[in-house]
Amino acid sequence: MRLSRYFLPTLKEAPSDAQIVSHQLMLRAGMIKQEAAGIYAWLPLGLRVLKKVEQIVREEMNRAGAVELLMPTIQLADLWRESGRYEAYGDEMLRIVDRHKRDLLYGPTAEEVVTDIFRAYVKSYKDLPLNLYNIQWKFRDERRPRFGVMRGREFLMKDAYSFDLDEASARKAYNRMFVAYLNVFARMGLKAVPMRADTGPIGGDLSHEFIILADTGESQVFCHKDLVEMGAPGPDVDWYGDLQPLVDQRTALYAATEEMHDEAAFAAVPADKQLSARGIEVGHIFYFGEKYSKPMKANVAGPDGKDVAVHMGSYGVGVSRLLGAIIEASHDEGGIIWPDAVAPFDVGVLNLRVGDEACDAACDKVVAALEAAGLEVLYDDTDNRPGGKFATADLIGLPHQLIIGPKALAEGNVELKHRATGERSVTSLDAAIAQLT
Ligand code: ATP
Ligand code: MG
Ligand code: MG
Ligand code: MG
C-alpha cells in the first residue's frame, strides 16, 4: 500500500479529552474518529488491526470447537420479555420502536437470540454439545463512555454460547473456552490472568474474567504474581479430553476481582507474591445453567426420551476493547508498538527522497519482494520530510521499518529498524529483504 494513496489522517496532538495513552494514540495514529460519545468510526488503519484481532479470536474459537454464525444487531423486545430481562436490563439498553410500534432494541448481548435459534432446531441430546458464537457489534448505553474504545457504547464483541445436556458436560464446555481464551490473549502478546468473577444471582463458582494488568484499568484486582507469567497452553491440547488439570493449574492460585475479593484468602498468599493492581476486563466467561433455557423452553430429549432444559454458558471477548488494551501494554514515547500478530502492516518502507531515481527503484524493488513473500507493506512514498516520516512510522508502530535514503543507498545500503527494540542495522538491500522474509 502506498501511503500517498492511503487514508492515514494522523494528528500531531491528541484532543485534550483523551485521557489515557491508548485513546490518545489511536486518535493520533488515525485509527478511529469519534462520531458521538462512545461511538467511533474505524478508519483504515484501525480497521486493519480490528480485523486481525477478530481473526485471532475466530481461529481460536474454531479450534476449540465453537461454530460461527451471525446474529442481528437489532433484536425483538419480546424475546427479552420471555427471559424476564427486558425491564431488568435498565438504562444500558437502547430501546427502539419501529413504524408498527413494535418494541425492538439494539442488542447489548445475545443470550435470548441464540436460545431462540437453538430451540427452533435442536431437539435431541445427540446434537450436543454445541457452541455457537458470533463477532458482532453490541450497544450499551454506558453511563460514562470513556477511554476511547475501552468503554464505548457501540463496541465489537465476540460472544459464544454453549449448550449441554447437564452440568458436568457444561463444565467441559466452560473449560474449552477457558483454555481457548488463554490462547487468544497470548497470541496477541497479552498476559491475561483469569480471575474469579461475580456470578450474580445464579451463584456457583463458574465465572472468570480475563484481566490485563494496566494502571489505567477500571477494575481493582488481586492475584498471585505467578499467574501473570504463567503463559498459555498453546493449540496442541486435547480439546475434547480432560482440560480440568489445565484449568485447575490456573485457578489454584489466588486471583479475584474486587467483587469476589476475600481478604483472608489473599492474606494466605506469600507477601512477596501478593499483587494488588488495576486491570482491564478483556474477556468474561460464565456458566449459568438453565437461566434462559427454562423460561424460554429450550429443551432437548435426553437419552431416556424425557425433555430437559439445556445447560448453557456464555463467553464474551471485548474485541474492540482489546485494541486499547494492547496499546496500553505496548507503547513508548514515540507511539504504538504493535505485536507482530496484530500489526496493521508488517513493514513500513520509508523512501527518504521520493523522486530520486535510485531511491524510487530500490523502494519499488523491496516493496515488490516483500509483498511477493506475503508481507503487508506500507510504503511511505509521500514528499514529507524524513523527520516526519520517522515520527509517523514510530507513531503507527509497524514492527519493522526499512529506511531507504540516497546517502546509504549510494554505498548499496539501507537501514532496518526494529520498532520494539529500537535496534537499527545497516545492510544491503538484499540482506534486508532476506532478513524480513
Ligand atoms: P465492564 O465491567 O467493563 O462494564 P461487562 O462485565 O459489563 O464489562 P460483559 O457483559 O462481561 O461486560 O461483556 C463481555 C466483554 O465485552 C467484556 O469482558 C469486555 O471486554 C467487553 N465490553 C463490555 N462492555 C464494553 C464496552 N462498553 N466497551 C467495550 N467493550 C466492552
Ligand atoms: Mg458493563
Ligand atoms: Mg465487568
Ligand atoms: Mg463482565
Condensed to tens digits (0 to 9), the pLDDT of residues 166-179 reads 999 999 999 999 99
Q: How far is the CA of 280 from the centre of ligand 3 (A)?
A: 9
Peptide bond into 129 cis (omega under 30): yes
Strands 67-68 and 130-139: parallel
Ligand 1 shell residues, CB under 6 Å:
109, 140, 142, 151-152, 155, 157, 281-284, 316, 318, 320-321
Q: Is residue 311 within 8 Å of residue 165, measured between CB atoms? A: yes
Residue 419 is classified by DSSP as T
**Is residue 204's pLDDT more than 70?**
no
Report the amino acid identity of residue 401.
Answer: Q
For 56-75, what is each residue's pLDDT tens digit? 999 999 999 999 999 999 99
Of the pLDDT bands very low, low, confident and very high (cuts 50, 70, 90), residue 411 is very high
Q: Whose CA is nearest to atom 4 of ligand 1?
A: 151
Mean pLDDT of 426-431: 97
Q: C-alpha angle 382/385/386, rounded to 5°?
A: 100
Which residues surround the ion ligand 4 when the cut-off is CB under 5 Å? 284
Ligand sitting nearest the alpha carbon of 259? 3
Which residues surround the ion ligand 3 when the cut-off is CB under 5 Å? 281
Q: Whose CA is nearest to atom 24 of ligand 1?
A: 151
Distance, in Å, from the CA atom of 219 to the CA atom of 277, rounded to the nearest integer, reads 8
* DSSP track, 292-358: TTTTTT-EEE-TTS-EEEPEEEEEEEEHHHHHHHHHHHSEETTEE---GGG-S-SEEEEESSTT-HH
pTM (2 d.p.): 0.97
Atom of ligand 1 nearest to the CA of 151: 28
pLDDT score, position 199: 79
Distance, in Å, from the CA atom of 160 to the CA atom of 68, rounded to the nearest integer, reads 9
Q: Whose CA is nearest to atom 16 of ligand 1?
A: 318
Distance, in Å, from the CA atom of 344 to the CA atom of 376, rounded to the nearest integer, reads 8
Q: What are phi and psi of 130, to 5 degrees?
A: -135, 135
Mean pLDDT of 274-290: 97
pLDDT score, position 202: 63
- C-alpha cell recorded at residue 186: 497470548
Atom of ligand 1 nearest to the CA of 316: 14
Of the pLDDT bands very low, low, confident and very high (cuts 50, 70, 90), residue 201 is low
Q: Whose CA is nearest to atom 1 of ligand 1?
A: 281
Of the pLDDT bands very low, low, confident and very high (cuts 50, 70, 90), residue 251 is very high
For the chain, the average pLDDT equals: 97
Distance, in Å, from the CA atom of 193 to the CA atom of 89, rounded to the nearest integer, reads 28
Q: How far is the CA of 109 from the centre of ligand 4 (A)?
A: 11
Share of the chain above pLDDT 70, in %: 99
Mean pLDDT of 197-223: 88
Q: Is residue 127 within 8 Å of residue 177, measured between CB atoms? A: no
